[in-house]
A and B are shown apart, each in its own frame.
Chain A
Amino acid sequence: MSLVSAGADLRGPLASSRSAEPSLATVGDYIALMKPRVMSLVVFTALVGLAVAPGSLHPVTAFTALLCIAVGAGASGALNMWYDADIDAVMTRTARRPVPMGRIRPGEALAFGLTLGSFSVVVLGLLVNWVASTLLAFTIFFYVVIYTIWLKRSTPQNIVIGGGAGAFPPMIGWAAVTGSLSLEPVLLFLIIFFWTPPHFWALALYRTEDYARAGIPMLPVVSGDASTRRQILLYTLILVPLGIAPWMFGYTGALYGITAVLTGAIMLTLGWQVLRENRPAERASRNLFAFSILYLFLLFAVLLVERGWGGLITRLAA
């Protein structure tokens, strides 16, 4: 029995005994399997890491590196959807994904993810360098095995530790150029790492019932609203100085510094509002969740403008 059909059997109720039925899955379904919105964020942060790294990379090599990182992120998404098909079917937010909808069988998602993951790692190693390739392989492993299979269903600290997977792309982009790492990409890693908990816990605050129904031990489900709101503010208090740190260490200029300070102040304000909200989490949590996306995007966008390719954009604008 092939791995593809074995996957369907492992997922019992979701297989629906359709192992012999030809697939109706379209290309769009397979693209959805890769979580394209997550892929775009991964590619953007990797691009920034690649652009601010010292040294240069041929444009085609840079494109190849970003393509491999994007495909690796897509592979991680597909493997996550393979493993989480049972809980995705229960949650409102994820019930329309291709596997719970029955358009792609779990075993097909598994095969797709493994193939893409393997290819992305090997191609990145062959065409760019093996340091970046190793980091990409570790990132995929971390997200699928450490976060999806192990942490997500077993601890309320799941997205704290598991969020590390989303923080690696700028380091991979940096390593693609330099073949090594240094403090600056580690700072970028830390910014995303400490951004992840307030971002996802703000979402979880107004999706608590969804996560509870699926049996996922997100912090609001396990520890309650009050504890979650305190921890959101705590992580935001750690995040904001980290966001400013690249300016303090002299890696960036005044534009980034001002942006980091202003957006950090807004994050803290929103985090405080979440803590002080007297009714069940709704408006303040949604505001924080939405702004946290803008916060991260602005930090990295300004970093790209100021430092990307030796400050090319800044020089062209001057």
Chain B
Amino acid sequence: MGEQQNDDGIVLTEAQKRARRSRSLAIAFALAALVVLFYVMTLVKGPAILIRPI
């Protein structure tokens, strides 16, 4: 239901493709934001970022 199954495997409907694309983009943005966050925090905290009191 919701997709066609044939000898080539599962074929996504347009709605499923759109949903998957939006999720993939959201994950990509989140990962990019995480990279930027770590970079900026490293600049903020300086090179000894992990050498600090608990």
Contacts and interface: CB of A to CB of B under 8 A. Distances in A.
**Do A and B associate with each other?**
yes
Interface of A: 18, 20-27, 30, 58, 60-61, 64, 67, 123, 126-127, 129-131, 179
A23 B20 contact: yes
Given A58-B44, A64-B37, A127-B41, A26 B2 contact: no
Interface-centre pick from A126, A127, A129 (highest chain B CB count, 10 A): A127
Interface in B17-37: 19-20, 22-23, 25-26, 34, 37
Contacts of B23: 23, 25-27, 30
B47 interface: no
Given A130-B54, A179-B53, A22 B41 contact: no
B51 interface: no
Contacts of A26: 19, 22-23
Contacts of A18: 1
A253 to B, nearest CB: 32
A129 B10 contact: no
Contacts of B37: 64, 67, 123, 127
Q: Which residue of B25, B40, B50 has the most chain A CB atoms within 10 A of its CB atom?
A: B40
A6 to B, nearest CB: 21
Given A61-B41, A130-B54, A179-B54, A21 B19 contact: no
B52 to A, nearest CB: 8
Contact of B50 (A21, A126, A179): A126
28 contacts: A18-B1, A21-B3, A22-B2, A22-B3, A22-B10, A22-B16, A23-B20, A23-B23, A24-B2, A24-B15, A24-B16, A24-B19, A25-B23, A26-B19, A26-B23, A27-B22, A27-B23, A27-B25, A27-B26, A30-B26, A123-B34, A123-B37, A126-B50, A127-B37, A127-B41, A129-B54, A130-B54, A179-B54
A58 to B, nearest CB: 5
A23 B23 CA distance: 10
A126 B45 CA distance: 11
Given A22-B12, A24-B2, A58-B44, 17 more contacts: A18-B1, A20-B10, A21-B1, A22-B16, A23-B16, A23-B20, A24-B15, A24-B16, A24-B19, A30-B26, A60-B44, A61-B45, A64-B41, A127-B41, A127-B45, A129-B53, A130-B54
Contacts of B40: 60
